[in-house]
Amino acid sequence: MKKTAILLALAALLLAGCGTSGSNDDSCTSLVEDLLSRMTLEEKIGQTVLYTSDWSVTGPSIRDGYIDDIRAGRCGNIFNAYTAAYTRKLQEVAVNETRLGIPILFGYDVIHGFRTIFPINLGLSASWDIEAIEESARIAGREAAAAGLHWTYSPMCDICVEPRWGRISEGAGEDPYLGSLIAAAMTRGYQGDDLGDENTILACVKHYAAYGAPQAGRDYNTVDMSDRWLREFYLPPYKAAVDAGALSVMASFNELDGVPATANKYLMTDILRGEWGFDGFVVTDYTGITEMICHGNVTDAKDAARAAINAGIDMDMQSAAFSDNLAALIHEGKVSEKTLDEAVRRILTVKAKLGLFEDPYRYCSEERERELTMTPENLAFARRIASESMVLLQNDGVLPLRKGQKIAVIGALAESADDLLGSWRGAGEADKVETIVDAMRDYNGASNIIYARGCDEISDDKSGFQAALSAVSRAEKVVMVIGEDCQWTGEAASRSSINIPGVQSELLERIAATGKPVAVVLLNGRPLDLSAESQMAGAILEAWYPGTMGGQAVTDVLFGEFNPCGKLSVTFPRALGQVPIYHYAKNTGRPYVHPDAKYESRYLDVVNEPLFAFGHGLAYTSFEYSDIELGGSGFSGNGSLSASVTVTNTGEREGTEVVQMYIRDLVGSVTRPVKQLKGFQRVTLAPGQSERVSFTIDASTLSFYRQDMTFGPEAGDFKLFIGGASDNVKEASFNYSL
């Protein structure tokens, strides 16, 4: 062990307690201050640097230059390196071969699972099952931590009403209330209540802020919106994750109000630290610092580094702008050393809280990696949450299928293992995945499944149509698996159309014309325009990209082993021209009331209503709602009002319903949405069973950014809606006085 490493170990011993259960902040503080006082300028800058590792055919690898940087203390953080053995190797370089032995922080995109892959996040959000979503993050964190990782770039908190944007698949949909609950749950899942626990990892709130609102849905494009809209609809999920204890935040690529987030002091310092009290560190998104040269708000990389750190950025992912320029900027007085110290302090404090100074190898255990990864429990959970995430958009009775029925399965996606994992599939491996058609064969008997590819998802090749039609002619029912290639969603995967690509719909039309009952299973990562397909198919099951156990989960739902209960967390338009379309729209001065009136806020060629509304989703049973019962005619001040409905399962099988509550403030100092989600509950009911579901409305339910930008309620009359979808609700009225 080097002399310096021994010194560090001594310091750690002296300050033992930081990063372990029951650790106290004071012990972390003294450890960090002691280190800071001994660091050279170059070593400090090194802690603000994050470089990527690579993955070659033989396994993980790192560029020679980066290894030299680690050794010289010029790079304190690495992402994309994993496996217990490999991270240990790199950690040994940092601990034993650098002057101060400061451990490396290892980050990775663990977005919807690490090895066991869960549905894409848009799918997870459609489960509306907050506890299960938290559990999915806990499992992902445990698997990742066992592979040597400390830090995930999740939760992705970008509210989005723009289906052209490929990254809508990575978020929780359109709604800030649901999105906030999910952001907080995922943060709790990853971080647990003790960051020093070897099974938990650090969360990173991204992409701060408003990355989900790029103009025209083009990735990385300009974002501009009023401060009021930003605060009411876009910021809440980021804040919820910060409030839940997330200790890192990622700046988004986009500009906001003319200033790229990476140099946006209003976002990074005034709101994040000033208003929200965030005390972790902020990392850029990839080369966000040098990208500002293209944005056009800085002259060169040096100027960009200055703008970023002075705005509140602490760590530079991959651009090398900090490592190349901070020393000179400090010597020239353009950045104060105090600013750098503050960034380093924040980063080291998080490393201390992770327990890395006590034992830099605590996350690198090959034994734990073997034991905790893709366990039968993790896989069983993945199967359940995948089923829960699926949304039955329509069903004329073709579903559920009956075991033993002869089923034609059509579509290239039915035999794709890879697509089931979706984008950002962590370290998930397609060879561990059973395809939909194989899972159906396993369940229904191979001889009862007649598979034909028909066509793929992208090309115009119709040469497989005939074989598909022949398969259909030999079957009782048809399951057609169609949608998007998973690489058509995620980062840099914007589309100018939201139709089902290629000739898939044409094949569906030909199959539907045979008169055989058809159920469509959709694999996709965005709201699609399904207006044509909804006319052709008897049933449509939105399965998103359901993850490692997706094949089995789709089978469970198709055959009724699992009664679908997902509800859309994002509106599905009936035409791209309706976009942006979302349930919290305003009324306008000329609301759309009369189908034939010209001078109303409407389209000439399409109705205003979406094809499938926010909150929509069917089951193999039905639910009836009583009228709303209110605890009074209203309430005042800090009081509250209860609102309940009785929900009855009127069908023949047990089912789960997501009971949703919306409100409308009829007159405000600023105009208010005609409906806004304010609460929901999941209830599971046996056939014939009724349950009274109650909500409490208080001042916080009614609060918003008033005209003077203060946040709070206003007196007046309100409408209340409770139901099983935003467009299928019971209605009541109440008033509120201050």
Instruction: Compute the least distance from the CB of residue 189 to ligand BGC, in Å.
Output: 18
The candidate with the shortest Cα–Cα distance to 288, out of 279, 278, 280, 297, is 297
In angstroms, what CA-CA distances link 276 with 178, 189, 192?
Answer: 20, 21, 21
Instruction: Compute the least distance from the CB of residue 170 to ligand BGC, in Å.
Output: 7
Three-state DSSP class for residue 304:
helix
For ligand BGC, the closer of residues 198 and 219 by Cβ is: 219
Q: Rg (Cα) of the chain, in Å, rounded?
A: 27
Report how far residue 526's alpha carbon sits from residue 528's, in angstroms, rounded to the nearest whole number.
Answer: 6
Instruction: Compute the least distance from the CB of residue 345 to ligand BGC, in Å.
Output: 24
For ligand BGC, the closer of residues 286 and 363 by Cβ is: 286
Angle between helices 504-512 and 465-473 (to 10 degrees): 30
DSSP bridge partners of 679: 661
For ligand BGC, the closer of residues 208 and 635 by Cβ is: 208
Report how far residue 529's alpha carbon sits from residue 507's, in angstroms, rounded to the nearest whole number.
Answer: 17
Instruction: Compute the least distance from the CB of residue 110 to ligand BGC, in Å.
Output: 10
Please tell me what DSSP assigns to residue 736: E
Instruction: Compute the least distance from the CB of residue 549 to ligand BGC, in Å.
Output: 25
Please tell me what DSSP assigns to residue 595: T
What does the CA dihedral 58, 60, 64, 70 come to, rounded to 10 degrees? Answer: -160
Dump the DSSP string for 382-434.
HHHHHHHH-EEEEESS--S--TT--EEEE-GGGG-STGGG-SS-TT--GGG--
Contact status, residue 10 vs residue 278, Cβ threshold 8 Å: no
Q: What six digits make up the tokens of 713?
A: 């309620």
Please tell me what DSSP assigns to residue 648: E
For ligand BGC, the closer of residues 44 and 207 by Cβ is: 207
For ligand BGC, the closer of residues 456 and 491 by Cβ is: 491
Q: Which residues of 414-423 are buried (b: 16+ CB within 10 A; e: fewer)?
A: bbbbbbbbbb
Report how far residue 547's alpha carbon sits from residue 421's, in angstroms, rounded to the nearest whole number.
Answer: 4
Question: How many of the other CB atoms lie within 10 Å of CB of 443?
Answer: 18
Instruction: Compute the least distance from the CB of residue 206 to ligand BGC, in Å.
Output: 6
What does the CA dihedral 588, 593, 598, 604 come to, rounded to 10 degrees? Answer: 90
For ligand BGC, the closer of residues 248 and 504 by Cβ is: 248
Instruction: Compute the least distance from the CB of residue 492 to ligand BGC, in Å.
Output: 8
Q: What is the 3-class SS of 359-377, one letter each residue?
A: CCCCCCCHHHHHHHCCCHH
Instruction: Compute the least distance from the CB of residue 249 to ligand BGC, in Å.
Output: 12
Backbone phi and psi for residue 141, each to the nearest 5 degrees, phi listed first: -65, -40
For ligand BGC, the closer of residues 134 and 285 by Cβ is: 285
For ligand BGC, the closer of residues 232 and 291 by Cβ is: 291
Quick check: is 109 catalytic?
A: no
Instruction: Compute the least distance from the CB of residue 286 to ligand BGC, in Å.
Output: 4
State the residue number with the nearest CB to ligand BGC.
153
Contact status, residue 210 vs residue 230, Cβ threshold 8 Å: yes
For ligand BGC, the closer of residues 125 and 154 by Cβ is: 154
The candidate with the shortest Cα–Cα distance to 282, out of 243, 313, 326, 246, is 313
Q: Which position among 285, 314, 316, 556 bears the catalytic label?
A: 285
The candidate with the shortest Cα–Cα distance to 600, out of 591, 609, 610, 608, is 591
The candidate with the shortest Cα–Cα distance to 625, out of 651, 653, 612, 644, is 644
Instruction: Compute the least distance from the CB of residue 234 to ligand BGC, in Å.
Output: 17
Q: What six digits make up the tokens of 577?
A: 């021209």
Instruction: Compute the least distance from the CB of residue 323 to ligand BGC, in Å.
Output: 18
For ligand BGC, the closer of residues 143 and 285 by Cβ is: 285
Instruction: Compute the least distance from the CB of residue 153 to ligand BGC, in Å.
Output: 3
For ligand BGC, the closer of residues 251 and 311 by Cβ is: 251
Residue count of the chain: 738
For ligand BGC, the closer of residues 43 and 491 by Cβ is: 491
Report how far residue 656's alpha carbon sits from residue 565's, in angstroms, rounded to the nearest whole number.
Answer: 6
Contact status, residue 13 vs residue 294, Cβ threshold 8 Å: no
The three-point CA angle 675-678-682 to 5° equals 115
Backbone phi and psi for residue 60, each to the nearest 5 degrees, phi listed first: -65, 150
The candidate with the shortest Cα–Cα distance to 545, out of 431, 435, 421, is 421
For ligand BGC, the closer of residues 281 and 635 by Cβ is: 281
| 95 class by beta-carbon count within 10 Å (0-12 exposed, 13-18 middle, 19+ buried) | buried
Residues of this chain that bind ligand BGC (CB under 6 A)? 109, 153, 206, 285-286, 491
Instruction: Compute the least distance from the CB of residue 121 to ligand BGC, in Å.
Output: 12
The label of the residue with tokens 């709201």 reads: 527
Dump the DSSP string for 27-79.
HHHHHHHHHHHH--HHHHHHHTEEEE-EEETTEEE--HHHHHHHHTTS--EEE
Q: Which residues are catalytic?
A: 285
